[in-house]
């Protein structure tokens, strides 16, 4: 039973387990209480909560089923509505001026630089990289390379904020005043008690980068990750504790959406970072009276320009952008606007061939955790009712698998819809609906239809990632100047996915838009501006009481 075990118990398990199991446990990192290879229906894992410095269970266990075979393989102690009091108390212990700020406990900025350095070193160990990559694969099935890349981005992020880089996030500025003794200082100030809510598809990267950003700026966060994948962050929190993260600095809650909603309404965090669907994002924005930053849905576009070149490479990037992680990236290529010059280039045939390479055995195609096969087929059939539409490839369920029916299992699919049809008001909402699975819409445009393409992009509601695949500088300049997506790649190698830690990732065009991972994102999301005006005198000897004004 690879349960959540105390260190002593773990040592006993390692002593008593059969050699093969021992060898696996021997390669399990010291902080770990689960083994990715062990977790299964016959050896289920447990996930607990962490509140006010202690790991806790709950009266309610929510069983998570293995996305590959439906076995109950993880049980999560999901906090019930009657059990949120300790989380509320914990958040209430943090004042609005935070656990630290530029004028209070500044040594904590240095502490977090040290924690980042230690965590970066530990996460960079090959066995630890592999541990998290495999654990991610178990709960959010993606290819090993995709899972490893998520861990590597997280590790590089931690490297980025070693040493003085955390205190540099709180860099302030001074402006001279009108008279001696007066000056104004601009500071980045924490919010204090905050909340972080993250989805299932990046079990480590999104929660970790947002958690550390919140802590760096002096906040006290309660973190909630989708229960389907929260085992990953539970293990990462253990790693962070081993690297010096103070036990009282953050809480970790497992719950369903409704209980988390209740906690937010009753604990009143001063800021909530939400990453997930637009439906929930808009609800929370209303419930929390705007005290949110959102990374919500992505309906991400790619425009191929008139200059056809590097067709094999472009086809490969299109395949990766649309179908890696079975299309379950907020940055996934959802619609491809192909200039007509590409129609005779063989691009679509190459994309079809690449999609057919994908197989369940290596998880280059796999379970879809929030859209069923039936829902994807229904969406496809609705698109096929549009005049001139057709399936380019895919369009069928995966075969020969044991993926439970609560999850989707679909071949990589592309549906062609004529551009003029897309723009018709009766079709636009349907065509631009985000399908969080291996599904994309393809269309083409002629030289004189770029305006229609840009109209389509303007009418979309989500402006997360985009790609303009061209090396024509005037074309790039024109499209970039008349679009808004917050993370836009431009050039013949442009992609929509795989954002690393070294550039902004987030939507644009929405004042509630969040970002992740960069200094700009951390400061924008996890701090606010505070101006302190010093006016210490001396009062001039000649001063006399002026008339009232």
Ligand X SMILES: O=C(O)[C@@H]1CCC=N1
Residue ranges for the known binding site are 198, 224, 261, 277
Instruction: Report d(CA 237, CA 127) in Å as an integer.
Output: 17
Q: What is the gyration radius of the CA atoms in the chain, in angstroms?
A: 25
Partner touching 214 among ligand NAD, ligand X, none, CB below 5 to 8 Å by kind: none
For ligand NAD, the binding residue among 295, 321, 444, 510 (CB under 6 A) is 295
Sites for ligand NAD among residues 457-486 (CB under 6 A) = 464
For ligand NAD, the binding residue among 201, 334, 373, 496 (CB under 6 A) is 201
103-106 contacts at long range (C-beta below 8 A, 24 or more positions apart): 103/187, 106/167
Comparing CB distances to ligand X, the nearer of 161 and 202 is 202
Which helix (H) or strand (E) segment holds residue 223: the answer is strand 220-225
Supply the minimum distance, in Å, between the C-beta of residue 202 and ligand X: 5
Hey, which bits of 70-181 come out as E strands? Answer: 72-77, 173-176
Residue 319 makes contact with ligand NAD by CB under 6 A: no
To the nearest 10°, the Cα dihedral for 476, 477, 482, 484?
A: 70
Instruction: Report d(CA 228, CA 47) in Å as an integer.
Output: 10
Site track 500-519 with ligand X (rule: CB under 6 A), x = hit: -----x----------x---
For ligand X, the binding residue among 499, 514, 521, 522 (CB under 6 A) is 499
Site track 422-441 with ligand NAD (rule: CB under 6 A), x = hit: ------------x-x-----
Hey, which bits of 372-490 come out as E strands? Answer: 390-393, 413-416, 439-445, 465-469, 487-490
Residue 280 makes contact with ligand NAD by CB under 6 A: yes
Instruction: Report d(CA 133, CA 128) in Å as an integer.
Output: 8
Comparing CB distances to ligand X, the nearer of 457 and 514 is 514
Comparing CB distances to ligand NAD, the nearer of 276 and 412 is 276
| Catalytic residue flag (residue 295) | yes
φ, ψ for residue 103, nearest 5 deg: -115, 15
Instruction: Report d(CA 166, CA 179) in Å as an integer.
Output: 34
Calculate the alpha carbon distances from 268 to 173, 358, 482 in Å: 31, 46, 39
Supply the minimum distance, in Å, between the C-beta of residue 135 and ligand NAD: 18
Instruction: Report d(CA 166, CA 213) in Å as an integer.
Output: 9
Count residues binding ligand X (CB under 6 A). 11
| Catalytic residue flag (residue 541) | no
- The window from 104-112, 169-177, 224-232, 424-432 that contacts ligand NAD (CB under 6 A) reads 224-232
Partner touching 234 among ligand NAD, ligand X, none, CB below 5 to 8 Å by kind: none
- The window from 9-17, 43-51, 70-78, 492-500 that contacts ligand X (CB under 6 A) reads 492-500
Supply the minimum distance, in Å, between the C-beta of residue 516 and ligand X: 5
* 127: CB partners within 8 A, 6+ apart: 27, 29
Evaluate whether 80 touches 60 at the Cβ level (below 8 Å). Answer: yes
Residue 261 makes contact with ligand NAD by CB under 6 A: yes
Sites for ligand X among residues 283-342 (CB under 6 A) = 329-331
Evaluate whether 518 touches 502 at the Cβ level (below 8 Å). Answer: yes
Question: Which residue among 78, 234, 295, 444 is the active-site one?
Answer: 295
* 387: CB partners within 8 A, 6+ apart: 418, 421
Residue 301 makes contact with ligand NAD by CB under 6 A: no
Q: Which residues bind ligand NAD (CB under 6 A)?
A: 197-201, 206, 224-226, 257, 260-261, 275-277, 280, 283-284, 295-298, 330, 370, 434, 436, 464
Residues marked active site are found at 295, 330
Q: Which residues bind ligand X (CB under 6 A)?
A: 202, 205-206, 329-331, 497-499, 505, 516
């Amino acid at each position: 039973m690879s349960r959540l075990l105390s260190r002593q118990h773990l040592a006993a398990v390692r002593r008593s387990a059969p050699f093969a199991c021992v060898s696996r446990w021997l390669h399990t990192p010291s902080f770990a209480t689960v083994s990715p290879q062990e977790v299964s229906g016959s050896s289920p894992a447990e996930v607990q909560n962490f509140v006010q410095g202690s790991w806790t269970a709950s009266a309610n266990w929510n069983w998570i089923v293995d996305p590959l075979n439906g076995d109950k393989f993880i049980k999560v102690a999901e906090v019930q509505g009657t059990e949120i009091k300790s989380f509320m108390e914990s958040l209430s212990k943090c004042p609005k001026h935070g656990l630290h700020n530029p004028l209070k406990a500044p040594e904590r900025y240095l502490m977090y630089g040290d924690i980042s350095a230690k965590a970066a070193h530990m996460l960079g160990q090959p066995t630890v990289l592999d541990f998290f990559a495999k654990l991610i694969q178990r709960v959010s099935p993606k290819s090993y390379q995709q899972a490893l890349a998520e861990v590597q981005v997280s590790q590089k992020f931690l490297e980025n904020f070693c040493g003085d880089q955390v205190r540099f996030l709180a860099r302030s500025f001074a402006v001279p005043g009108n008279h001696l003794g007066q000056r104004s200082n601009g500071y980045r100030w924490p919010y204090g008690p905050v909340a972080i809510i993250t989805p299932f598809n990046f079990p480590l990267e999104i929660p970790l980068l947002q958690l550390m950003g919140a802590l760096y700026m002096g906040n006290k966060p309660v973190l909630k990750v989708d229960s389907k994948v929260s085992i990953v962050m539970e293990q990462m929190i253990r790693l962070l504790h081993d690297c010096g993260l103070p036990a009282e600095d953050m809480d970790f809650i497992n719950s369903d959406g409704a209980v988390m909603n209740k906690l937010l309404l009753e604990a009143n965090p001063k800021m909530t970072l939400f990453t997930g669907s637009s439906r929930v994002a808009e609800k929370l924005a209303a419930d929390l009276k705007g005290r949110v930053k959102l990374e919500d849905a992505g309906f991400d576009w790619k425009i191929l320009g008139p200059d056809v070149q590097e067709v094999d490479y472009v086809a490969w990037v299109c395949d990766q952008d649309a179908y890696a992680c079975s299309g379950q990236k907020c940055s996934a290529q959802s619609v491809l606007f192909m200039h007509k010059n590409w129609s005779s280039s063989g691009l679509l045939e190459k994309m079809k061939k690449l999609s057919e390479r994908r197989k369940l055995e290596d998880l280059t195609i796999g379970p879809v955790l929030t859209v069923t096969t039936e829902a994807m087929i229904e969406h496809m059939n609705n698109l096929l009712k549009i005049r001139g539409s057709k399936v380019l490839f895919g369009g069928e369920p995966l075969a020969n698998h044991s993926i439970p029916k609560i999850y989707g299992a679909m071949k990589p699919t592309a549906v062609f819809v004529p551009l003029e049809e897309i723009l018709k008001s009766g079709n636009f909402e349907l065509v631009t609906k985000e399908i969080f699975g291996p599904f994309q819409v393809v269309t083409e445009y002629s030289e004189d239809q770029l305006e229609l393409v840009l109209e389509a992009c303007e009418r979309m509601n989500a402006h997360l990632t985009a790609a303009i695949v061209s090396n024509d500088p005037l074309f790039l300049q024109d499209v970039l100047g008349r679009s808004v997506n917050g993370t836009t790649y431009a050039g013949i190698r442009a992609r929509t996915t795989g954002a690393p830690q070294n550039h902004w990732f987030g939507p644009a065009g929405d004042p509630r838009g969040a970002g992740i991972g960069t200094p700009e994102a951390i400061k924008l999301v996890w701090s606010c501006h505070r101006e302190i005006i010093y006016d210490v005198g001396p009062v001039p000897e000649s001063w006399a009481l002026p008339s009232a004004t």
